[in-house]
A and B are shown apart, each in its own frame.
Chain A
Amino acid sequence: MARPMQVSRYWRHFREKYRLIGGKCENGHVHFPKRSICPVCGSRNVEEIELSGKGKVISWTIVRNPPSGFEYYKPFPLALIELEEGPVVLAQLTDVDPEEIDFGMEVEVVTKKIREFEEDGIILYGYKFRPPVR
């Protein structure tokens, strides 16, 4: 794959990807990532909200044939997680035995390396989810 010289492309989302910044409209609808127009009511009065990063698994899969760039990690679990504030987020699960993943499993956010490009390429970080560390 061609080397992406696109630092800015990834950088512009670092707040969402490092801190789970979502949006909350004047009518209280919460969404992630933040949009300028509320997807529920269409309000343009949307404020930033930092999500707690706690949620539960609503569906999951084990990715065995990933897109190029993710070969190193295969197989890896990928899940839809419903956050306690309401929005659903797609992310990899980490620090978990694939056999133990189940519907409703509680998870919390953690910042991890998502992907590495060639030798002098950039390294991407972002959120993954894991069973809570108590």
Chain B
Amino acid sequence: MRKAVIIGAGMTPVGEHWKLGLRDLAVEALLNAMDDAGIDRVDSLYVGNMVSGPFVEQENLGALIADWAGLGNIPAVKIEAACASGGAAVQEGVKAVLSGLEDVVAVVGVEKMTDAWPSDATRYLAYAADAEWELFHGASFVALNALIMRYYMKAYGYTEEDLALFAVNAHANGAKNPYAMFKRPIKVETVLKSPYVADPLKLFDASPVCDGAASVIITTPEKAEELGVPKEKWVEVAGMGRAIDTISLASREDLLTLKAAKVAAERAYKMAGVEAKDIDFFEVHDAFTVMAALSLEALGAAKKGEGAKLAKEGQIAIDADYPIQTMGGLKARGHPVGATGVYQTVEAVLQLRGEAPSQVPDAEIGLTQNIGGTGSNITVNVFRRV
């Protein structure tokens, strides 16, 4: 079977980009990635995006971005899997390369969220939930995660303070990332004193509404050599997995198991020939602090019910056994929803090249996990230093 390597990575800072639109952000990230790889053409483009229609009245992002990036008459499509759109777009790009149909593929994840009124943004994000049985009742995405958070705390005896540690860790790492939205460390008190958005979930348990784009270029080792991309730049896409779970929370068999992440991780580990203990860093989907805990459990880094214990024991810091959110995660880097999975990929690439601002020492293997919905659509990717 062919192998896939990432040979270029680029992004824009995450933030409130009043002066830049969706196309500006996407084109900037894409050209950064192409420049990083030293190429000026690609065979195809996959765009990860969640809700551009409601947010900026723009669909057909494949045509828009390929056109404005000057890529010519290539195939280009948008891939949507809620907040996991970015991770899914990376996988579609890798699949195209592995299949042999395309040799050099560009992936860009983009979301432009700050043009919308906040309560409308809340509504659009809830489109990832079940429209008739969740949004109909006024459920925001934050509210659905708050239901999980309260249940998790009750089931295992954790406090709001325990879960706040995930936000503190994310901010500590994000403070060093020039592309992060929040470049300042916070304390547990900062989280606890922030207002409730949906009790017991507070503002600082949640990732921000923001804009951003990230991009990677994928090809085969043979083609990378032919293109003259130096080997130090290559990062192998070693494993991939993707799975769904019930779209509505009420139908979930177990509120405290991210079954889709579990299944996706099993596939990705198997394809890469690794186990959870081999992973040097985890970029998990901490859109809400409780999701970081549940993710660590689903990925096999912690036993069921012990994800938050890992944070309490100081195991998630850069120099600990299970470093997570090495460049700030969704919480501090920011969570431009459909772009997030590609940001995670770019950050994994930087770690494995040894170019990360807060570097995990001797990182060889990294994992990204991108959650769509309340755990209903999840991608897991494993990357390895070449």
A: residues with CB less than 8 A from B are 1, 13, 31-33, 39, 58-71, 73, 76, 78-80, 87-92, 103, 114-115, 124, 126
Contact = CB atoms under 8 A, between A and B. Distances in A.
B123 A59 contact: no
B147 A60 contact: yes
B251 A39 contact: yes
A76 B198 contact: no
B132, B137, B251, B255 — most chain A CB neighbours (10 Å): B137
Among B136, B195, B196, find the residue whose CB has the most chain A CB atoms closer than 10 A. B136
B73 interface: no
A96 to B, nearest CB: 14
B289 to A, nearest CB: 15
B138 interface: yes
A69 B136 CA distance: 10
Contact of B198 (A64, A91, A103): A64
Given A62-B199, A64-B197, A103-B154, A115 B146 contact: no
B136 A126 contact: yes
Contact of B138 (A58, A87, A115): A115
* Residue from A76, A78, A91, A124 having most chain B Cβ neighbours under 10 A: A78
Closest 7 CB pairs between A and B?
Answer: A67-B123, A61-B146, A70-B138, A68-B119, A59-B151, A88-B250, A61-B198
B140 interface: yes
A58 B151 contact: yes
A63 B140 contact: yes
Contacts of A1: 120, 123
Contacts of B150: 59-61
B249 interface: yes
Interface residues of B, number: 38
B201 A61 contact: yes
A115 B199 CA distance: 22
A80 B254 CA distance: 13
Contacts, number: 106
B122 interface: yes
Given A61-B201, A88-B251, A68 B147 contact: no
B257 interface: no
Given A66-B119, A88-B250, A78 B126 contact: no
B140 A124 contact: no
Among B133, B147, B151, B250, the most chain A Cβ lie within 10 Å of the Cβ of: B250
Contacts of B136: 114, 124, 126
Contact of A90 (B139, B195, B201): B139
Contacts of B146: 61
B39 interface: no
Nearest to B145: A61
Interface string B195-217: 11111110000000000000000
A62 B138 contact: no
Contacts of A69: 123, 138
Contacts of B123: 1, 67-69
18 contacts: A33-B132, A59-B148, A60-B150, A61-B146, A61-B150, A61-B198, A61-B200, A63-B138, A65-B119, A65-B122, A66-B119, A78-B138, A79-B147, A80-B249, A80-B250, A88-B251, A91-B137, A114-B136
B134 interface: yes
B358 interface: no
B142 interface: yes
A61 B119 contact: no
Contacts of B135: 67
B143 interface: yes
Nearest to B117: A68
B315 interface: no
A72 B236 CA distance: 51
Contact of B140 (A60, A66, A87, A90): A66
Contacts of A33: 132-133
Contacts of A89: 250
B219 to A, nearest CB: 41
B363 to A, nearest CB: 37
A59 B148 CA distance: 8
Contacts of A62: 196, 198-199
Given A33-B133, A59-B147, A80-B255, 5 more contacts: A59-B150, A62-B199, A65-B122, A73-B138, A79-B147
